């Protein structure tokens, strides 16, 4: 199958959306699918307001249309609600081509945290963007229920995976971890206001707090919490070593739709403490994490969990299964044709 993926989130960004897309696309290509990605790195771009790491492509709809037409896809997937996503959506509607979308981020809550406006003001934007899609892919049942309540649909389940070859318990901890008071509490992810990292760093459970990641809120948090340890961006084995060496992984976000970092931590044998919100409610089981409105209580409870069980549950998420779900969303009734109901884009 020839699959066109249009996304405003792409390398060198480091976040769950990019990780999901790169892993699934790699799996699809290994199976013989031809995937073309339209992303901001192909065009001139400007930094997003208040978030310079995210680039917004400066490109007109005709340019995106020509790229899609030249590729001649069997399926079109629009991953994000950014400039490239809107341009691709416009092309598909003009040509009357079916397409799928995905809901990766709690966009209304995300914007509300940054603008201090009610999240309800931004739901019409979400309904408008996803409304014409053949289906919208969503990672969890909790988010599915929320989208259904907001009038977004049809919906299709698309979960996430973990690289078990990289994320496992058999990594030596970073040297720093041998000098820190236990328990070591770890956060991994973007260092940005919508991630609610202040709640993690302000929690009163004894031990050490470690932040892995970068983002626009980094300098502010470093100044506000001088006793915390900020390690910057880590990837691959270096990141897995941080997970495996920590005593607890703390996920303070209330705006994520899944929380890929949670299953990476679990695959490394590290239990999770979180709020009882979408994402943790869908990913965590009683044996792998504890949720509470007080992070201190969640941390205390999760520290008692069995690490071997966390590892077993974490490695149960696979990118192979995620890729299967993605393809099923594009062509749920695939038979002789690669994508039933999808019209090949004109040359």
CATH number at residue 55: 3.40.50.2000
CA–CA distance, 319 with 66 (Å, rounded to integer): 31
| Same domain flag for 151 and 204 | no
* Domain match, 199 and 291 both: yes
Domain around 143: 2-161+319-330
In a domain, 170, yes or no: no
> How many C-beta neighbours within 10 Å does residue 101 have?
28
Is 237 in the same domain as 286?
A: yes
Is omega for the bond preceding 183 within 30 degrees of 0, making it cis?
Answer: yes
Number of domains in the chain: 2
Same structural domain, 185 and 287? yes
> What 3 state SS string does the chain have?
CEEEEECCCCCCCCCHHHHHHHHHHHHHHHCCCEEEEECHHHCCEEEECCEEEEEEECCCHHHHHHHHHHHCCCEEEECCCCHHHHHHHHHHHHHCCCCEEECCECHHHHHHHHHCCCHHHHHHHHHHHHCCCCEEEECCHHHHHHHHHCCCCCEEECCCCCCCCCCCCCCCCCHHHHHCCCCEEEEECCCCHHHCHHHHHHCCCCCEEEEECCCCCHHHHHHHCCCCEEEECCCHHHHHHHHHHCCEEEECCCCECCCHHHHHHHHCCCCEEECCCCCHHHHCCCCCEEECCCHHHHHHHHCCCCHHHHHHHHCCCCHHHHHHHHHHHHCCCCCCCCCCCCCCCCC
Joined together, the tokens standing for residue 63 give 């340019």
Instruction: Identify whether the C-beta of residue 149 lies closer than 8 Å to the C-beta of residue 284.
Output: no
- Give the span between the Cα atoms of 297 and 135, in whole angstroms: 39
How far is 79 from 321, CA to CA, in rounded Å?
A: 19
User: Does residue 311 contact residue 169 with C-beta atoms inside 8 Å?
Assistant: yes
pLDDT tens, residue order, the chain (347 aa): 999 999 999 998 888 899 999 999 999 999 999 999 999 999 998 887 766 777 889 998 999 999 999 999 999 999 999 999 999 999 999 999 999 999 987 777 777 777 778 878 989 999 999 999 999 999 999 999 999 999 998 999 999 999 999 999 999 999 999 999 999 999 999 999 989 999 999 999 999 999 999 999 999 999 999 999 999 999 999 999 999 999 999 999 998 889 999 999 999 999 999 999 999 999 999 999 999 999 999 999 999 999 999 999 999 999 999 999 999 999 543 333 333 334 333 32
Closest by CA to 271, choosing from 195, 171, 185, is 185
Same domain as 217, residue 154: no
Say yes or no: 152 and 198 in one domain.
no
Does residue 345 fall inside a structural domain? no
Considering the domain architecture, whether residues 83 and 205 belong to the same structural domain is answered as: no
CB-CB neighbours of 265 under 10 Å: 30
In a domain, 340, yes or no: no
Q: Are residues 296 and 213 in the same domain?
A: yes
Is the same domain home to 35 and 150?
yes
**Same domain flag for 154 and 6:** yes
Instruction: Say how many residues make up the chain.
Output: 347
Sorted by sequence, the CB contacts under 8 Å of residue 27 that are 6+ apart come out as 319, 320, 322, 323
Q: Are residues 118 and 155 in the same domain?
A: yes
Indicate if 251 and 114 belong to the same structural domain: no
User: Residue 142 in contact with residue 282, Cβ under 8 Å?
Assistant: yes
Is 168 within a domain?
Answer: no
Tokens of 112: 């509300």
Q: Write phi, then psi, for 260 (nearest 5 degrees).
A: -55, -35
Left if phi > 0, otherwise alpha if psi is -120 to 50, otherwise beta: which for 310?
alpha
In a domain, 291, yes or no: yes
């Amino acid at each position: 199958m020839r699959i066109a993926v249009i996304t405003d989130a792409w390398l060198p960004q480091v976040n769950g959306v990019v990780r999901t897309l790169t892993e699934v696309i790699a799996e699809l290509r290994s199976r013989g699918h031809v995937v073309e990605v339209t992303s901001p790195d192909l065009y001139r771009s400007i930094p997003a307001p208040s978030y310079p790491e995210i680039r917004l492509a400066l490109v007109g709809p005709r340019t995106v249309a020509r790229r899609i037409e030249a590729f001649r896809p069997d399926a079109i997937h629009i991953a994000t609600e950014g400039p490239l996503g809107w341009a691709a959506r416009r092309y598909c509607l003009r040509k009357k081509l079916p397409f799928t979308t995905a809901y990766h981020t709690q966009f209304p809550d995300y914007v509300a945290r940054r603008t201090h406006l009610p999240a309800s003001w931004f739901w019409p934007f979400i309904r408008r963007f996803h409304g014409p899609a053949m289906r919208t892919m969503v990672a969890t049942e909790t988010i599915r229920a929320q989208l259904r309540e907001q009038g977004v649909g049809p919906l299709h389940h698309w979960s996430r995976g973990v690289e078990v070859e990289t994320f496992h318990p058999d990594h030596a901890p970073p040297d720093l971890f041998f000098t820190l008071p236990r328990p070591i509490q770890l956060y991994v992810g973007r260092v940005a206001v919508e991630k609610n990292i202040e709640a993690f760093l302000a929690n009163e459970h004894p031990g050490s707090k470690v932040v892995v990641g970068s983002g626009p809120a980094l300098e502010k948090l470093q100044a506000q919490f001088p006793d915390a340890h900020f390690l910057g961006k880590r990837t691959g084995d270096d990141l897995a070593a941080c997970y495996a060496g920590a005593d607890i992984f703390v996920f303070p976000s209330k705006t994520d739709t899944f929380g890929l970092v949670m299953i990476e931590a679990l695959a490394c044998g590290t239990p999770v403490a979180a709020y009882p919100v979408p994402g943790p409610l869908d990913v965590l089981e009683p044996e792998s994490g504890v949720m509470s409105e007080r992070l201190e209580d969640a941390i205390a409870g999760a520290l008692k969990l069995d690490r071997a069980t966390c590892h077993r549950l974490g490695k149960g998420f696979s990118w192979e299964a995620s890729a299967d779900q993605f393809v099923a969303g594009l062509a749920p009734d695939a038979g002789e044709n690669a994508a039933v109901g999808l019209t090949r884009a004109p040359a």
